[in-house]
Amino acid sequence: MDFGTKLIHNGNEIDKTTGALSIPIYHASTFHQFDIDNFGKYDYSRSGNPTREALENTIAALEEGDSGFAFSSGMAAISSVLSIFSAGDHILVCRDVYGGTYRVTSSFFKKFNVETTFIDATNIGEIKERIKNNTKAIFLESPSNPLLKITDFRAVIEVARKNNIVVIVDNTFMSPYLQNPIKLGADVVVHSATKFIGGHSDVISGLVVVKGKELSDKVKFVQNSFGAVLGPQDCWLLLRGLKTLKVRLDYQQKSALKLAKWLREQEEVAKVYYPGLLEHPGSELHLSQAKGGGAVLSFETKDDETAKRFMRKVKLAAVAVSLGGVETIVSYPAKMSHAAVPKEERESLGIKDSLIRVSLGLEETEDIIKDFKNALSI
Ligand SMILES: *Cc1c(COP(=O)(O)O)cnc(C)c1O
């Protein structure tokens, strides 16, 4: 079955009790037990809620994992997954990981003696070198943010397998439509569903998909005991958003490619980063493990002043953090996502003050190009 069909027909789209074509929002915290000797399927919504269950089963089917879990944010999803590890464990995390993941691993989990080493995940040699006896997990993101660097999932997974290391992939930038790390051998996929899955910039949420019963039980235990679950209303927004994931991304991705090609012709633009462009250094590798370049790109202007002017003058696109919505969003890493990183360190990561990130929405591409043309010009 094609992915687009699966978004609409995956076995979780019809309410089993009424036949409703939209899963009802079960706003219930607790459930009456008709038989004190045999409890029903649901007892308390932290442990299980029918709307959340429909969403969790849907994302598990779309990522081809064994179980799905919905959390109150992408960070709650990531932190809950990392909570399956114990004091004394060591995890490898790709260096240009999402800022929130950097913060939670480098400071929060450190308090509990879970040790983190940041590695260049595009360098297999470095990964092998950094594995220690207590290394339990490797956390990857590809394409990375904001420079869209590509990690070779198959190669990393092979190394991890040999060393009994759990592979966790943050698949937010690609969504289950464009990339399925579990099919390539990863154990856990996490999403900030706030982005492409929700797709409408209206809900903060996170999803996790796990392969295998042992790991699934561990994540289920954390979800139920730590309790950072997603409420039924927000679960419904994700179920609704998911139905149009393919049509949205097909358009957004086409638009991203058009914009990338236009940008590289502009005299005010020094460099374009987009894995859908064949000259992107990771393009071939990326297209061997994903179905397209996605809808996020970044570019450097010829100088810092041009970038600042662009951010001041751009009108149609929203100037904001976040991505994956129906509206085009531009962000300025130096002042937004990476503002807390000192300038020298930012530059060593390749994030210049002339770098701008774009997430394409559903506007007519020509209108976005006109807006950008005006914003780049003096
Ligand atoms: C936004 C984002 C997150 C965090 O998700 P929230 O829903 O904001 O908590 C994690 N990873 C990536 C790649 C993101 O873009």
Q: Does the structure show a pLDDT above 90 at 189? A: yes
Could you say which of 96, 170, 187, 353 is catalytic?
Answer: 170
Measured between alpha carbons, how far is 103 from 109 in angstroms, rounded to an integer?
9
Active site residue 264: no
% of the chain with per-residue pLDDT over 90: 95
Query: Which backbone phi and psi does 170 adopt, to 5 degrees?
Result: -85, 110
Predicted confidence band of residue 213 (pLDDT cuts 50, 70, 90): very high
The pLDDT of residue 23: 97
The pLDDT of residue 338: 83
- Tens digits of residue pLDDT in 218-230: 999 999 999 999 9
Q: Which tokens is 235 given?
A: 């679960």
Cα(224) to ligand 1 centroid in Å equals 22
Predicted confidence band of residue 67 (pLDDT cuts 50, 70, 90): very high
Could you say which of 52, 195, 211, 246 is catalytic?
Answer: 195
Active site residue 246: no
Ligand 1 neighbours, Cβ below 6 Å, are: 73-75, 98, 100, 141, 145, 170, 172-173, 192, 194-195, 204, 206
In the predicted model, what is the mean pLDDT of residues 301-308? 97
- Tens digits of residue pLDDT in 4-19: 999 999 999 999 999 9
The pLDDT of residue 351: 93
Q: Does the structure show a pLDDT above 90 at 56? A: yes
In the predicted model, what is the mean pLDDT of residues 144-171? 97
Atom of ligand 1 nearest to the CA of 324: 15
Q: Does the structure show a pLDDT above 90 at 37? A: yes
Domain boundaries, the chain: 3-242, 246-376
The pLDDT of residue 173: 98
Predicted confidence band of residue 343 (pLDDT cuts 50, 70, 90): confident
% of the chain with per-residue pLDDT over 70: 100
Are the C-beta atoms of 163 and 132 separated by less than 8 Å?
Answer: no
The pLDDT of residue 299: 98
Report DSSP letters for 61-75, one per residue. Answer: HHHT-SEEEEESSHH
Q: Does the structure show a pLDDT above 80 at 233? A: yes
Q: What is the pTM of this model?
A: 0.97
Number of neighbours of residue 269 by Cβ within 10 angstroms: 20
Cα(30) to ligand 1 centroid in Å equals 30
Architecture per CATH, domain 3-242, reads as 3-Layer(aba) Sandwich (3.40)
The pLDDT of residue 345: 80
Q: Report the topology of domain 246-376.
A: Aspartate Aminotransferase, domain 1 (3.90.1150)
The pLDDT of residue 222: 98
In the predicted model, what is the mean pLDDT of residues 194-207? 98
Q: Does the structure show a pLDDT above 90 at 293? A: yes
The pLDDT of residue 167: 98
For the sheet with 90-94, list strands across it. Answer: 67-71, 206-210, 188-192, 166-170, 135-141, 90-94, 115-119
- Tens digits of residue pLDDT in 74-85: 999 999 999 999
CA 265 to mean position of chain CA atoms: 30
Predicted confidence band of residue 63 (pLDDT cuts 50, 70, 90): very high
The pLDDT of residue 187: 98
Q: Does the structure show a pLDDT above 80 at 341? A: no
The pLDDT of residue 69: 99
Summary mean pLDDT of the chain: 97
